[in-house]
Each structure stands twice: as structure tokens, then as C-alpha cells.
A and B are shown apart, each in its own frame.
Chain A
């Protein structure tokens, strides 16, 4: 029983077709996840799948993909179509790049685009993006001083030309990476999912009797844009600014933002932000843009599907050459370590105009690459992930060990030890690390890891919040700082640390900040926190005036 009328989309049929497009994008995602080698793809969904119309406008994005990929697809598509104009494309063409400035901000992400043909004509494009297991160079970390050290950089090129694989490209990739089978396996997983995408888009168009997606795309984007504009119009007009400091390598880095809320649109600029640093934490603009869009979306319409319409009323700019608009050859491998601070920067600026929605700062996540050799002689290069506390919201305590703004998933202790033969000695919450407040910040954690292998273990850090704690909102307290230690001595959280056999690394993860005046906190909530040891009796007395 389906509608026969296709000439216009009323509020019912538009919703149904829109959901159907998002769902077919989710099918593309599930194909990609199922066949990926990379645990960062399969467990942490460090990926994105997008469907674009024939004019390369984003219509639908898979529901589960990390925020870093919002808004990057149409920009990458435009670059690709400039290099290979649409009229020259053939069925079976597959275009790729991992250039940070054309794609998503670091070499690890490969962006792959395939034109979708129907009756000899391009009706859509699919784009998929995944974080590869390896791309050569220094490995995933922030230790490089130039992009050239960070690995293989592929310009926009055709991996497949009319269905024929370019063997030379495959050889180049294989030659440059540490784990060629896994890396190529993940590249091919992208190819497989784009085939599914092309099939599903055609099936969708058959089902609804569509010859092209132009009108539907316009309706979806138009509706998204109208809703976003209506929501933005509810914010109080004005210029909002914020300035924070983030630790760099040779002293703090300044982040500054000016946000102009004007009727139903927003302009965000980062004038006043410091320049780039000679470490792999510089942020190409695409990533800055994505983090702004994510922050504003989470405060306004968190559930509206991503497409070009929903972000149209938001204009983002950053001075060329500042650390949030980094230029080659500055290295960008750990761009998230800096880029994630865009979110608290924006929330802080909008704390006044969206007081009920903003979140106090989070302790943020910590990603560390460990490279070593297992006892059976097999080498490994594995990402360890541990999260700090989540910032409190009005009416909601911050969750302990919950990442924000990006999202990952913990590697279980039992899997980590099996995979690396290192030992996690303990993994526990850090009491009193959550910022005080009417709603308390989430707790960070303490993880101790011992090198029980027979060889040196290399630890490549990208840790943040070691100097500047998570800031509270409306009188809420700060979260505790992050710290990395080797044998109980503090070491640089963004350093390249050698861990000898028998030595111990301690990761102290940052707490989230509180929201609102701690004196207003519910008495029972304090009592529960004390009973469960999340807040010590002394801290309860000091921060909340609690007398038991």
C-alpha cells in the first residue's frame, strides 16, 4: 500500500522518503562495519557514509558516525569533481583521497566517492570515510613536526577506473604501511559498501518511481533549513565571545571565538586564535567546521538528520594559518586533541543565550597509541582509549568516564591484555575528580598499565586538559586535570614515551565540570555520592558545606 502521488511531497510522504534515505545510508554503514579490520571502525564507528545528489549536495548521512565528519563530504566531493568533472565519470569509477585539507583533517581518514548511475546518468554520489589501521609515517600521534612525517598522502585519484582496479595505487599503499593486508582490507570494505549504496539508491528510486533525486533533495534540505532557522531564531540575538587556553607544546595556545546570532542565522569566527604549532595537533578548517556544526546542532536540534540544509544557516570562518585553520605543511595527525576544544569554546560563548541547553566542560577522552611486540613475537600497534568525565547539564549530573565531544568505546581489559600482553594493573574511578555543582561533573578514572612484554613499549600520547581544567557553568566547579605518569613521575601527555619491560604507566583522566551553585545541590544526592565514595566526606564538606 504505497502512495501513488510523487509530484509533491506532503508532510507525510516527505518524512517517509527521507527516513528511507537515511536508512539506506545506515545499510551502507553496516556493510562497512561488518567487513572492516580496523577496531576503530568496527567498535568506535570512526566512519561516515553519506549520500549526495547529482549536484553533490548532501542529502543523508548514516546515523552513527563521529561528529568530525559533519559537513566535510560536500567539500571533498567538490574537490573531487573539480579534478574529475562529472561529465567525464563512468560507471565503476571510484575516487579516493586522504589529503587532510581535501578530506577530513588527517591522513588516517580515507574518503572514497562513487558516482551512482541510473539509465546512463549520474543521479547521486555515495561517499564513505573510514579511519585506516595505518598510513605509514610516525603512526597515530602528535609527535611529527611536518605533515610529511605523518605518512602517505594520496592526492585525489581513481582507485577504480570504469570498474578496473588501479594496481599501482594498491602497490603504493601496500608499500607504505605497516599492516598492508589490514589497510587494503579496509580500503576494499569501502569499495564494497559503495556498491551496496549504489544498489540501494537505485532500488529506492525504483520503489518511488523517481528518475532523479533533485526535487526530493531540495525538499529535504529546504525543510531542514527551515527548522534550523526557526530554532536559531529562538536564541537571543547578539554577539557572544569566549576565550580559553589549551595546552600546546611550548606554552599555551589561545582559542578565541566570536559568535553572532542574527535572527535565524549564526556566524562563527575564530579571530584571535593562536597560530599553528610544530606538533601533530594542528586543525585543518574542515575539522573546525565540523566541531562547530556539532556543537550548535547539539544545542538546537540534536535529532534532525544531517544534511546540507540543516547546516546552511551556520557560517563558520577562521583566519588562515591559525591553529583552527592550519595550512600545509603543519602536521595534523592528532587534530582532535586541539579540535575538540572548539565545542567547550562554543558552549561557553553561548552559555548566556542557551543557558538551559549548554553543557559544562567535559574531561574529554584520551587516545594513546601503544607500539610493541607480544611475547609470541608478533608486533602490535594498538589504540588505547580511556575517557574523562562528562560535563554536567542543567538537571543532569555528568556521567563518569563518558567522552565528549567525540565518541569512542573502551577496549575491554581482557581484550587489551590478550592483544598486547601488557597488564592493566588497575582501572578505577578517581573520587572527587568531578567538578562540584548543583549538578556534579562526571568522574575521571585512573588506569595503570605495566609493560609485561620482553621489549620496549612505545607510548604515543595526545592527551589534553593537563593544564587547563574543564570549566563549570553558572557557578559549577572545575574538573580535576589529566596527568600521565611513568613509574610515578609525571611525563608529557603528548609525548613519545619509552616504557621498558616491567615499567608502569599511570593515566589519570580528567574530571568533568559541574553546573550551577554547589550549595544548591540536593542533600540526598550528596549523601548518595558520599556513600558510594564518588565524593569524599572532606570534599563534600568543603565544596557543598555538607555536614553528613
Chain B
């Protein structure tokens, strides 16, 4: 079977082709076409097919990851969106969390609500917290609102009522009326998007869904017809933020679930490598030009959670963006990348990022007018990058400009020499990333010390070993085809859909029957989505999870139930399972009654995967492994010395390299420290073992 993964990034659209019969993978990169991203996708699929001598008509599946939805929110390029809310509550969209994300900086900046106050209309209706009706829906008012929306030229509507997670009847009825009155308008209800307690986040998520719905629909139309026109007759899937594939029909209803799907695919591919290499706990580390992203992987599954932020108002600050609640791979994002600017901070000391020189003007060494020192300038000066072989030689870097920027921008003001400053910039970035991983892991009770790391992205391999050393992680994997990690990750993603519902109840008040019924309703909802995609029930795996806590606690922990045909028989084990899970995180159990807060169920189709053995098409058989040596900064000796430079494409399984060494590929360079050791495995992955004794 032939399958293609396509990941649209800011600069490049990446393609990966998997040929199951031939155990072969081929990759391709194409410049992204921002005005209509489907153009690059369609053209790239044709190029990939012709390069590899296959007919597009023989391709069974195309799996697509994209940041299109995220970008539409950041750039506010969505539909003119209205909100229909419970009378008395739509101002909550302006009130937010009523919290400052910074306690000392008075100039806090927040993302504005997607739906301005004038585009929010209210109707009388009210559900109580227990799902009973207090005030029935004023249907005449809904019709009147429809007229109001039409007068404003509204293209999409988010229906957002209080307590709809407990009873969605009013939202459903209001949506029916709006669809009847306004047949061309995209209507989305909050209980269908994500039926969880906490109105502000649920409604914000629904507004994002409505805002991006018409745009995503148009995009998928273009993509489907364009691919059809070049002969594609297979199935098209969209990657979700949580690592499962969606059919295009589902993605059209829930575009919000496709936020950040590219990075999710990268984390999924890390997990896949971890599974193949039998590494239970992993840190997935992806670093590019402006940001670094991390995810934690436990037993071959990336840790998931249910909250994320998009369109942060202020430089990556948590709390300044739009708060979204959907199932999502739990990623950290750090404002550290090749373009991160080094400067003197308020303490009078060196700091790097989150400000970035971006692609324009870019680092000083790009010679595009940038004068501020960046991480890439430092890495060039330290000899970790080759000015003549940047992006495989596509771009020439100016070392003198880098040196001048660092000397004038930070070394001079701080009174240290230029090389010390350059190494400081490199080291601080590694430290910042290590710190972000530490906090992220500690918040999730994940022991990073026993974990391994998978590193990719343009800047990831430059810093991975340094970050791993700071975290005392003994092993780092530099996977093959790291430049198209997300495109590959799309090919290991199963069809999956997760639903979750808030229903807070004391465990003592739940019966096995009740337990069965609640999960059965969720199961019907989740499996229906997979039914539509043609997955047989017998091929679906059902995973049930509960968010639980001791009565009165503010935070829940997730309890994963064992697999079983139905939920009822699992009920009697819940108390013990919760206690054991709690103890594994906090080292103690409390003698307190427990309660369930959220009920979650995921239906997962069969994984296709990449099979046991595959090899990449573009390994050259003639190149010499060691290209030469380069003067690079030795962190212990604190001076430049000659480091061997290797050509990654010439390395063969079983070869070993003793550090220090620089291993170059087109998109990146793996930096191997003086005491570290690398072996090439059967799939051409580089496995680096750190000597942590030094």
C-alpha cells in the first residue's frame, strides 16, 4: 500500500511516501505557498510520485498535517463570527480569567476575543448545573438573533450556553433554528466541540471552531478537488492535535481539533522511534528557527492533555493567549531557536530570546541587514555550523558579521571575550530548554533522569546533547530523515477520536450501571466518527479515562481504566486504581472520599505504521564518512580545537564515532561532545550515549 504524509510548515511543505511492499520511504520538500497552501501540496504530491515512479492513482491514503488553523487564528484570517449566548453571560469573553499572567509587569497584553462584543447576541434560556431546565429556550429570540446576525453579515456562529455539557438540548435546538434561518452560515455548538465545565474556555474553543470553520472547509474543498484532478482517488485524512487522524468530514465539523497538528505528528514520530528502539520514556525535542517544542512520551505514547493556548498576546507567555480545551499532545513551546536574539537583561546579565530576528532580517550572519546577535551567529562562531554548508550549501553565512554582532551586542557590554559570549549564548539556550523540560516534567510527575531523548528540527541536533547532559539523560537518538519528522509522523498515526464530558460526582454516588451508561453514551459518540471512516467495530480499541481527585482538591489526576468490552465491570476497581495512581504521583494516599470530574473516551482505529524495516531512498553509497575537520569551541578547554566532521549520508549501520564530532546533514548538524559516543543503528538512526561521569 502506498501512503503519503504531507506537513505544511511556515517555509517548507514536507512530504513522506511510504511503500509498504517495498519497505521504502521517500521524502520531498517544497516551498510552502502561503496564499493557497493547497497548491504546494498538490504539486508536491505530483513531484513525489514522479520522482519515485508511482502513479498518484495507486496512492491509497494521504495524511495531512497543517498549521493552517493556528495561523488563521494568529493572523485573524477567519470568518466574521457571531456568538449566541445565554442572556447575561456573553461578556465573559471579555473578562477571561480575571487574572494577570505577570505579577510585576504592569503592561500585560492579552489576545483579544475572536468575537467582538457587538457580534455577541443573547437569548433567554437556562440549564442548571445538574442538567435540569430552569428557563426554556426562547425560540423566537433565536430567530430574532438570526436576523441580527444576517444584518451584520455574520458567516459563522458559535452557540455557547451555560451548563450545556450537562444538557445540550438548548444548544442543539438553537443551532437547528439558526441553520434553518441561515443555511449558508457555519454553526457550531459548545457541547459538541468539547463538553467540559468552565464556560470561558469551552466558549473560546467554540468561537475558534466557528471562526476557522468556513476557511478550513474552503481549503479542504480545494485540496480534495485539486488532488482528484491529478488522479488521486484514495482517502484523505487530517491529523489532529492529539495525534489521531480525522476524516475530512470530521475535520470540517471540528477544525479546532486540527490546531498544531504538525508538531503533534513530530512527537508521534518520536514515540514511534522510541517504540522501535524499546525506549520506554522519552523526551521529544524539536527546535527550529524561532521556537523549540518538547513533548514527553511514556510507554510509546506522547502524554496528552486537554488544554492549549493559541495566539499568545505576549512573547510565549502562558496566560496571554486564547485558552483552548481539546485533546492535544501536551507540548511545551519555548521561544528559543536559531533566530533568538541575545541581549543584556534587567539583571545586567546575558539572556537569549524569546525575541527573534525571524527569517527577515534574520541572524547577522545571513547578511540580510540583521545586526543583533542571535543563536545562529553564536553557533557559527563556535564552529558548530559550517558557513559554507548551511542548508546543504544553499546559503552562505558571514562569520565576520556574526563576530561583530556578538562583540558589540553582548560581549562588550558584559565585559567578557567574544568566544565566551558566543559559548554563553549557546549554553543559555540549552539551559533554558532544559529548564522548560524540568518544570514540564515535574508538573507531570515524569522522571526525566531515566528517560532518553529524540532530537530533530533544524536546531535540535545542535543542542540536544547539551540539553541531555543538563538533564542527566544518558541517551539521545538523532533519527533518520529528521528534516521531515512531522511528515513521517503522519504516517504512523491511527484514525482516532476522543470525546470527553464533565460530570462531577462523588464516587460513592456512582453505581456500576450508571458508570456503564455514562461511558456507553461517550462510546456511541466516538465510535460513530470512526464508523463514518469505515473502521469496523472489531478493529477499534476503546480507551476510557477519568479525571479524579479527592473531594475538595483543586486539581484532578487522570486515571486510565483497563481495556474491556464495556465499562460496567470496570467500576469496582476504580477506587483502588485512583488510590494507586495518586500514590504513584504524590507518594501517599489520603483517607478522603474521591470524586470523578471528567469522563473521557477515545476510539482508536488500527495503526498502519511503517513496518519493522524500511530504508530511506537517498542514502548515498559512495561518499566518504569523514569529510575533514573544523575548528570548533571545546567547552571544557575553553578554546577552539579541531573537530572531525562527518557526512551523515555516508554513515552505515554499525559504524561508531567517538566525540568530539560534528555530523552534518542538509538541515542540521549533530554536535557530539568530547566524551560522548555515537553508533549508527540498522535504520540509520544515530544513537548517542553520553558519558555523564564527566
Contact = CB atoms under 8 A, between A and B. Distances in A.
30 contacts: A1-B430, A1-B636, A2-B427, A12-B350, A12-B414, A15-B345, A15-B351, A18-B347, A42-B554, A64-B103, A192-B586, A224-B347, A227-B348, A357-B106, A399-B108, A400-B95, A404-B106, A408-B98, A413-B92, A414-B163, A414-B199, A417-B128, A418-B129, A423-B134, A426-B87, A427-B92, A427-B95, A428-B89, A429-B94, A448-B88
A516 B121 CA distance: 33
A252 to B, nearest CB: 27
Q: Is the interface of B mostly helix, strand, loop or mixed?
A: loop
Contacts of B421: 12
B128 A413 contact: no
B670 interface: no
- Number of contact residues on B: which range applies? 35 or more
Interface string A375-392: 000000000011100000
A151 to B, nearest CB: 19
Contact of B99 (A14, A386, A409, A415): A409
B554 A43 contact: yes
- Number of contact residues on A: which range applies? 35 or more
A542 interface: no
A368 B99 CA distance: 17
Contacts of B128: 417, 423
A38 interface: yes
A20 B435 contact: yes
Contacts of B423: 12
Nearest to A22: B435
B350 A11 contact: yes
B349 A410 contact: no
Contacts of B96: 401
Interface string A410-442: 101111011001010111110000000000000
A357 B105 CA distance: 10
Question: Which of A42, A227, A407, A413 has the most C-beta atoms of chain B within 10 angstroms of its own C-beta?
Answer: A413
A303 B345 contact: yes
Given A1-B635, A11-B348, A426-B88, A16 B428 contact: yes
Question: Which of A12, A181, A410, A426 has the most C-beta atoms of chain B within 10 angstroms of its own C-beta?
Answer: A12
Contacts of A288: none
Nearest to A207: B470
A23 B95 CA distance: 31
A33 B555 contact: yes
Contacts of A407: 99-100, 103
A34 B554 CA distance: 8
B347 A12 contact: no
A36 interface: yes
A12 B91 contact: no
A18 B129 contact: no
Contacts of B439: 23, 26-27, 30
Given A410-B99, A427-B92, A1 B465 contact: yes
Contacts of A38: 554
A393 B555 CA distance: 35
Question: Which of A11, A227, A230, A429 has the most C-beta atoms of chain B within 10 angstroms of its own C-beta?
Answer: A11
Given A12-B424, A428-B88, 8 more contacts: A30-B439, A34-B555, A41-B554, A44-B99, A224-B347, A407-B100, A427-B92, A532-B117
Nearest to A181: B592
B234 to A, nearest CB: 43
Contacts of A409: 97-99
B102 A302 contact: yes
A403 B99 contact: yes
Contacts of B88: 425-428, 448
Interface string B263-298: 000000000000000000000000000000000000
Contacts of A64: 103
A16 B431 contact: yes
A367 to B, nearest CB: 12
